[in-house]
Structure 1
Amino acid sequence: MKRILLLTFIILGIFFNANAQFGMGGAQKSSVLGRVSITVLDSVTKAPIDYATISLISVKTTKSVNGGVTDAKGKLVLQNIAPNDYKLLIGFMGYKTKTVLVSTTPAKPDFNLGNVFISSTENSLAEVQVTGTKAVIENKIDRMVYNAEADGTNAGGDATDVMRKVPMLSVDMNGNVQLRGGAVRVLINGKPSGTMASSVADALKMIPAEQIKSVEVITSPSAKYDAEGSGGIINIITKKSNAQGVSGTVNASAGTRQNNGSFNLTAKTGRLSVNTSLGTNLAYAQNSRVVILNQTTLNNGSLNSVSQDGYSKWSRQGYNGSLGLDYDFNAYNNISTNVKMNSFSNGGPGASNYIINGLPATNVSDMDMTFNNLDWNVDYRKTSKKEGEEFSISAQLSSGRTPTSFSNILTSAAFPAGFQTISNNTGKNNEYTFQTDYTYPFTKTTTLEVGAKAILRDIKSQFDNAAQDFEYNQDVSSVYGVVSFELTKKLKFKGGVRGEYTQIDFNTQNSGVQKNDYFNLFPSAILSQTLKGNATLKLSYNRRLQRPGQSYLNPFRNESDQFNIMQGNPQLNPELSDNFELGYNTYIKGSIINASVFYRRTGGVIESSISPISENGTNKTYTSYINVGTAQTYGMNVFASYNPKPKWTLMTNIGLNTYEVTNTVLNISTGTFLNYNIFGRSAYGFGKGYNFELFGVVNSPRRTYQGKTDAMIFYGASFKKEILKKKGSIGINTLNPFNRDLHIQTVNNSVTATGTVYQSQNIYYPLRSFGVNFSYSFGKLKFTEKKKIKNDDTKQDQQQGGMGGVQQ
């Protein structure tokens, strides 16, 4: 721990020294943004002129860079104006066009023209319009960007709907996301969220689609990012208002499966901005049928057969809220802070009929799992007169609580009065993060990025029996350096290395306190070649580490099904992966094609493992997590978007990857299997704000080293209409309208040192749903985003939010 803090403080001292040198870069073009204010009045009556059209023209390029219309008081504020020389063009029907020169500098980025008078004319003046269209898909050197705000069909949905349209992603019916067959880390505005850590699927359902500006898919993260899982990073950029005054959005949806509501408000005056949001989610309780057969054989020859046929009536409810402050001291110094609270609760009663070795029994159960999270971050950012130079310091506190309770009453001939089991557990996860980053552009094409970071994690698990309490401490310190430059005008390079030192200590009931520490280097490199026709070819390599998260480590015995025990494993080692990728991207007459092939080698793959145990004379199955072996994955992904007509969009995303795990010590060799996922979408705009969309998803059977899960197929449609002068929308949607349930079967076969297990599990999810949605935006909206802390290094249970237990 001392070495971690010492290393971090040394790096911090270096960066503070670098910060003190700001201003030595020379008076080059600034990245500081300011604003231009104006009030337009009639030259004779002195009355304000509303809806006067303003256009800001660059003197150098003669192109329009910003614009808008005045309000009822004749006022307009143009935001995010880079220091430069401009011509301000003022026009209104029946008035003479007026031009005013505007000049801003990094030292004085704001320019207030005050009252500007325009005079009437007998000649009609055509209005000056400022228009711009942003591409739905953008290809950058290290990421693919889906600009959700440019896709009008997103109105009325949530983040899950948006994710299905993002290249290279696959989303199952519950909202769990994968990137090219691998685990993925989801960030919000570049930073982790305690809610995402607890349940990605639930968290995505709480984000209205209208609040998403863009989604970044980073398949080859540079060394600037924390060591991360094999799949990559998804970064959701949300909209934030930067307009003077008050603006916000209201969203609501109601349906047969779930209901959502959210309210977002931004107030900005001068250089102070306040953002707040509230949201809620409620899923109706519906019966999900569960049919399980367990057949175990122990080495002593004892046989056991347990069949189960029952239901669980799960419901899910949650709420979230946030409050953020952002203040610009001047053109070069900014501080911001944000507090976010989230709470989700899911569970409910259930009942099952058992046949235990030919004898009948019944079981009545109840379950409640809650996730409470608090995230608080403070960020300071300093820029300079040198374009692209930036220094930042960030701190974040994340605190999570996960109280869980289970109860079962088993009644049989042997227990006519009923045999009751009760278990409770409260998981606590406190995480403290300190980070500093510095970016220095040597030239317009050569940039250096360096930084340091410390993450201090304290995970506790409190059982009903205090003697079994579990505590896990993990401290991670890291430093990185990344350089990017142009080898030629069309060939770009970005590469670097990250060093991470990890120190762990934990206690277990059987082994006492144990310690472990390790140091890893993580190189990364990307070559990007621009081809004819604006096509791009990229070759990349990176090495990643992914540590097990709380759900994998917690040794609490989950006995919600007393014949199928589940427990975490604190002895797990992290996964290490080497990733190679070759990608191609092109635009052909408005169509987009993105294709890639990749190879991934992952050591210490973490998977669930099932084995037989005997307790109280009854054979049971025991599920935990182990480092199963080394996986080699070959894969490809093709994303294409085509417009047969201007208002008709066809989109598809096809992914293929192999599954193969070997371990000579455990004598495991799965052979090679092929996984695939297919997404298809057709969206049509009928004009006058009417939009219709159809989509379908096919996910192939999924393999593990012990078993197989069936394929999943689901489909949906939505119809939306813009209302209230395009400030709002109303729509209807449906999911799997012709099938109530989605039947998924999982079969596991296990041969271990203690015996063998055959398990067949059939779950019937009530997936069919119908719903209506409404959204409304008010105020003037312009959008920016801030740089935040990103903790990307822990492997999360991707099934926890949707498939872990039977949820609605």
Structure 2
Amino acid sequence: MKKLLLLTFILGIFFNAHAQFPGGFGGGPKKSAVTGRITATILDSLTKKPIDYATVSLINVKDNKSVNGGVTDEKGKLSLQNVSPNSYKLMIGFMGYKTKSVLVTTTPSKPDNNMGTIYISSSENTLADVQVQGTKAIIENKIDRMVYNAEADGTNAGGDATDVMRKVPMLSVDPTGNIQLRGGAVRVLINGKPSGTMASSVADALKMIPAEQIKTVEVITSPSAKYDAEGSGGIINIITKKSNAQGVSGSVNAAAGTRQNNGSFNLTAKTGRLSVNTSLGTNLAYAQKSQTEFITNTTYLDGTTNNISQSGFSKWSRNGYNGSVGLDYDFNAYNNISTTAKFNSFSNGGPSETNYIINNVAASNIGDMDMTFRNLDWNVDYRKTSKKEGEEFSVSAQLSSGRTPTSFSNLLTSAAFPSGLQTISNNNGKNNEYTFQTDYTYPFNKKTTLEVGAKAILRDIQSQFDNTAQDFEYNQNVGAAYGVISFDLTKKLKFKGGVRAEYTRIDFNTQSSGIQKNDYLNLFPSAIISQNLKGGATIKLSYNRRVQRPSQSYLNPFRNESDQFNIMQGNPQLNPELSDNLELGYNTFIKGSIINASIFYRRTVGVIENSISPITENGVNKTLTSYINVGTAPVYGFNVFASYNLKPKWTLMTNFSGNTYSVTNNETNVNTGTFFNFNWFVRSAYGFGKGYNFELFNVITSKRRTYQGVTDPFYIYGGSFKKEILKKKGSIGLGVLNPFTKDLHIKTVNNAVNQRGTIYQSQNIYYPLRNYTINFSYTFGKLKFTEKKKIKNDDVKQDQQQGGGMGGGVQQ
């Protein structure tokens, strides 16, 4: 009932606003006023190559005044929106070329006019000795984010999203594909909204996105109050390529390697104002043998000493697919409705064999694991704009439904029980989420803009253990409202600030504790001041407050006994993390180089980390890993990114980031001391001409700390080679990762001290990382990439561990 009331309330807001502004907010046109688009492709008259970044003005023939304008993209394509029916002339200009004028007319019956191909010629005095080529910057710096233009980087072909993420400033990617942003937790969005695939496992989801599908990656270290307040480190928003061209267009990508295969297919059909988009992707990872050596020593535990050592291997396969179907319709230039259904399925698991020495007694175990994630996201979005540039009203709704059947089995044998002891554990998880959102943006003038909005998220998580009665049910409802204003203090000094209020209500039920409830209200202010300096440099100072609500994998008390001597379990009593962030950043361009540097301070209260504690079952001491609110963590850090064109076709790039780690809690006597973590990325890319591109890269990390332990450093290196074929519509390439190192050795040591005694745990894992791939991509049709505004939930702390957590429902 409450969901129906909430939906009625939000739709009431929309219809009331629509009634008050029948012609579009702020003086937009009446419904009968039809506007359209003018499109064209600008090419060099001699080479027939596209002219990117050519300037185009739309001039009214009657009064000779400019009414619209724009620049061409990297394919020479131009699209002018919101054009009223009339007679115009296009004025096309570009450095080194003659200015060209072309007459164009639109009518109420045919508001859209595709001018086709327009050729411009070089100026006579520069034809012989001047070659002008527009180049889109790979890195762009904006007031609240840094943008990596992946489509402008020719070396990305053939890889996946993990390979792209390694090149993005400020990000660090571990061997399994998990991401951190400046040492903090991060929320990953796709096209501004959460993905069911990301919710299950960030690392696996990135492997299923071909690099060719990515347009840009936005790193938002200072999110405004418009965003959900989740993510202590910030937000990563992956923008994918989408087609908005008349006719049919699409792309095919495929890669085959020694460790995994992946492929994708995208197709768009557009006629008039209706477009249909569909995509399908798959990732098939071979069964991999992961050698492990695991040692646990328990000393002075209840006055006794217990030792367990184990070594073995697992042979897991990782297979998944995802797809989407979307419809998009423009009623006219000011009203748009779209809907998209996205589905994904991913399975992870396989057999394992482990040998134990338990207090000098030998034992062996044969295990099997199957973790499956299935999710459906369905959203409907309505957007209304007006003649007033930048004004926009939107209403969005989304349903997300996930299922996660999980099973573990173990058969333990030794001299004491030669026939074996078998344990079987099953969990059926369900996760339903309903989201409603409305936003309104109003520009008072070119210098001042107001943004307001409201949002509601209703979550229902259920988990049933071993075919028994309902064991765990968790309901979380979040209501939010925000206001953001941005304006220019001076010609060079800009300000953007606001506040977001979020009310959270929680109730959950477990068999051991019964029904428990909790609710809290938080205010999240944010502010950014940016100053433009001489030579195109900028400096900015920002502050924001963030929250990390624990996701389902952190909360679900289901016992993951895939390793029956080292058990994992969620904690439904967790409180959210709250962090305050302060950042000072500087960006400049010096003779073909880009330098971006920042320092930051982050203070997080209620830090959530995994915690190891001893348990005793059947006379055997074991370890239980769960999650707790450890304490308070003050973090000081910095990031330096630099890119330099040594030659026009040779680019050197590096990113170095570091931050302190320390946690204190006076109530539990936790004081880790202060440590320093760093991540260093180096890259060299060279274009030989005629479509040949070559790249080398290297990633080096320091040790990683937790309040109980430390993980050793690691390094990753690789290279790629790509050749454009089929008149630049296709490419073929080769890639290699860690060619001289078969396995990546990761060692983690934990020391846990409590009232029962001390636990020492040492874990050595050898990841089979070396990989050789061959890849192919091909695009067909006329492609023009645009994005539509979508609903986005980014308010929960995600499990950053490989495999997506501990066998519960889909994480959201």
Give the TM-score taking structure 1 as reference length.
0.91
Query: Using a 3 Å threshold, how does the CA distance of structure 1 residues 662 and 9 change in structure 2: closer, same or farther?
Result: farther
- In structure 2, the residue matched to 1:653 is 655
Match of 1:675 among 674, 677, 691: 677
Partner residue, 2:415: 413
Q: Say yes or no: does 1:749 pair with 2:732.
A: no
* Equivalent position amino acid for 2:362 in 1: P
Give, in angstroms, the shift of residue 37 of structure 1.
Answer: 6.6
Q: Secondary structure at the match of 1:666?
A: coil
CA distance in 2, matches of 1:461, 1:765: 31
| Matching residue of 2:523 | 521
Worse-superposed segment, 174-183 or 11-20: 11-20
Q: Which residue of 2 aligns with 1:597?
A: 599
Aligned to 2:111: 110
1:47 corresponds to:
none
**Cα gap change, 1:116/1:286 in structure 2, threshold over 3 Å: closer, same or farther?**
closer
The 1:668/1:201 distance shift into structure 2, 3 A limit, reads same
Distance 1:69 1:522 in 2: 39
Letter in 2 for 1:192: P
Q: What CA deviation, in whole Å up to 9, does each residue of 1:559-613 have, x standing for no partner?
A: 1011101100011000000000000001111211000000000011000000111
Contact kept, 8 Å, 2:38 with 2:83, in 1: the verdict is no
From 614, 636, 639, the counterpart of 1:637: 639
Deviation at 1:135, TM superposition (A): 1.5
Q: Which residue of 2 aligns with 1:214?
A: 216
The alpha-carbon deviation at position 304 of structure 1 amounts to 1.2
Q: 1:366, 1:407 within 8 Å by CA — same for their partners in 2?
A: yes
Maintained 8 Å contact 2:553/2:804 = no
How far, CA to CA, are the matches of 1:486 and 1:597 in structure 2?
Answer: 24
Determine the structure 2 residue equivalent to 1:143. 145
Paired letter, 2:758? T
CA contact (8 A) 2:248 2:269 kept: yes
SS of residue matched to 1:466 = coil
| More displaced 10-residue stretch of structure 1: 149-158 or 578-587 | 149-158
Cα distance between partner residues in 2 of 1:592 and 1:660: 32
Q: Kindly provide the CA deviation profile for residues 712-744 of structure 1, in whole angstroms up to 9, marking residues without a partner as x.
A: 111011111111111111011111100101111
Question: How many Å separate the matches in 2 of 1:660 and 1:115?
Answer: 61
Q: Distance in 1 between matches of 2:109 and 2:478?
A: 42
CA distance in 2, matches of 1:492, 1:116: 40
Tell me what 2:203 maps to: 201
Percentage identity across aligned positions?
77
> Which of 714, 732, 737 is the matching residue for 1:730?
732
Query: Among residues 368, 372, 375, which one is paired with 1:373 in the alignment?
Result: 375
Q: Which residue of 2 aligns with 1:450?
A: 452
| Larger CA deviation: 82-91 vs 547-556 | 82-91
What is aligned with 2:243? 241
- Paired letter, 1:187: L
Counterpart contact for 2:553–2:806, Cα < 8 Å: no
C-alpha distance in 1 between matches for 2:315 and 2:117: 66
8 Å CA contact 2:176, 2:802 repeated in 1: no
Q: Aligned runs of 1:307-322 on 2, under 5 Å?
A: 307-322=309-324
Distance in 2 between residues matched to 1:280 and 1:231, nearest whole Å: 30
**Pairwise CA distance, 1:80:** 4.2
Aligned counterparts of 2:68 and 2:134: Cα–Cα separation in 1: 12
Q: How big is the shift at 1:376?
A: 0.6
Q: How does 1:219-618 map to 2 (within 5 A)?
A: 219-297=221-299, 299-467=301-469, 469-618=471-620
Judge conservation of contact 1:184–1:229 (CA < 8 Å) in 2: yes
**1:18 positional shift:** 3.7
Per the TM alignment, residue 162 of structure 1 is displaced from its structure 2 partner at its CA by: 1.2
Structure 2: how far apart are the matches of 1:669 and 1:649?
Answer: 44
Contact 1:176 1:801 in 2 (8 A): no
Q: Which residue of 2 aligns with 1:44?
A: none
Offset, 1:209:
1.3
Q: Which residue in 2 is equivalent to 1:48?
A: none
Report the aligned-residue RMSD.
3.2
Whether 1:20 and 2:19 are equivalent positions in the alignment is yes
- Partners of 1:616 and 1:693 in 2: how far apart? 56
Distance 1:589 1:477 in 2: 49
- Shift in Å at residue 757 of structure 1? 0.9
Q: Which residue of 2 aligns with 1:800?
A: 802
Q: Does structure 1 conserve the Cα–Cα contact (< 8 Å) formed by 2:57 and 2:92? A: no
Q: Distance in 2 between matches of 1:181 and 1:61?
A: 49
CA distance, structure 1, for counterparts of residue 20 and residue 389 of structure 2? 15
TM-fit CA distance, 1:83 = 2.8
Q: Contact conserved, 1:52 with 1:69, CA < 8 A, in 2?
A: no
Q: Judging changes above 3 Å, is the alpha-carbon distance between structure 1 residues 90 and 498 closer, same or farther for their aligned structure 2 residues?
A: closer
Distance in 2 (alpha carbons) for counterparts of 1:330 and 1:714: 51
Aligned to 2:625: 623
- Residues in 1 aligned to 2:447 and 2:787: alpha-carbon distance in whole angstroms: 24
Q: For the Cα contact (< 8 Å) 1:68–1:130, is it kept in 2? A: no
The answer to whether residue 58 in structure 2 is matched with residue 58 in structure 1 is yes
- The 3 A distance-change label for structure 1 pair 424 and 114 is closer
Partner of 1:188: 190
| 8 A contact 1:652–1:679 mirrored in 2 | yes
647 and 700 in structure 1: CA distance in 2 versus 1, 3 angstrom threshold: same
CA contact (8 A) 2:376 2:402 kept: yes
Alignment partners' CA distance in 1, 2:673 and 2:73 = 62
Gaps of 5+ in 1: 41-50, 71-75
Distance 1:641 1:768, change over 3 A: same
TM-score by length of 2: 0.90
Show CA shifts across 1:737-777 (max 9, x none): 00101111100000112332110000011111111000011
Q: Match of 2:568, as an amino acid?
A: M
What CA distance in whole angstroms lies between the structure 1 residues aligned with 2:700 and 2:116? 61
Q: Is the 8 A contact 2:40 2:79 kept in 1?
A: no
Check the 8 A contact 2:28/2:386 in 1, yes or no.
no
Q: SS of 2:626's equivalent?
A: strand
The equivalent of 1:83 in structure 2 is 83
- Please state whether the residue corresponding to 2:606 is helix, strand or coil: strand
The verdict on how the C-alpha distance between 1:80 and 1:206 changes in structure 2, with shifts beyond 3 A counting, is farther
Kept in 1: contact 2:39–2:80 (CA 8 A): no
Deviation at 1:229, TM superposition (A): 1.7
CA distance in 2, matches of 1:464, 1:254: 39
Please tell me whether the aligned partners of residues 569 and 806 of structure 2 are also in contact (alpha carbons under 8 angstroms).
no
Cα gap change, 1:341 to 1:238, in 2 (>3 Å): same
CA distance in 1, matches of 2:27, 2:590: 42
The separation in 1 between residues aligned to 2:196 and 2:545, in whole angstroms, is 25
- Distance, in Å, in 1 between the alignment partners of 2:322 and 2:49 is 40
Cα 1:145–1:264 change in 2 (3 A) is same
Q: Is the 8 A contact 1:612 1:757 kept in 2?
A: yes
Deviates more, 1:12-21 or 1:648-657: 12-21
With over 3 angstroms needed to count, the CA separation of the structure-2 counterparts of 1:57 and 1:451, relative to structure 1, is closer
Cα distance, 1:800 vs. partner?
Answer: 3.0
Task: Give deviations 1:502-546, integer Å, cap 9, x for gaps.
Answer: 110001121101001111111000000101111110100000111
Equivalent residues of 1:35, 1:80 under 8 A apart: yes
Partner residue, 1:716: 718
CA contact (8 A) 2:294 2:311 kept: yes
Alignment CA distance shift 1:747-1:468 (3 Å): farther
1:204, distance to aligned residue in structure 2 (A): 1.0
- For residues 581 and 259 of structure 1, the distance between their equivalents in structure 2, rounded to whole angstroms, comes to 41
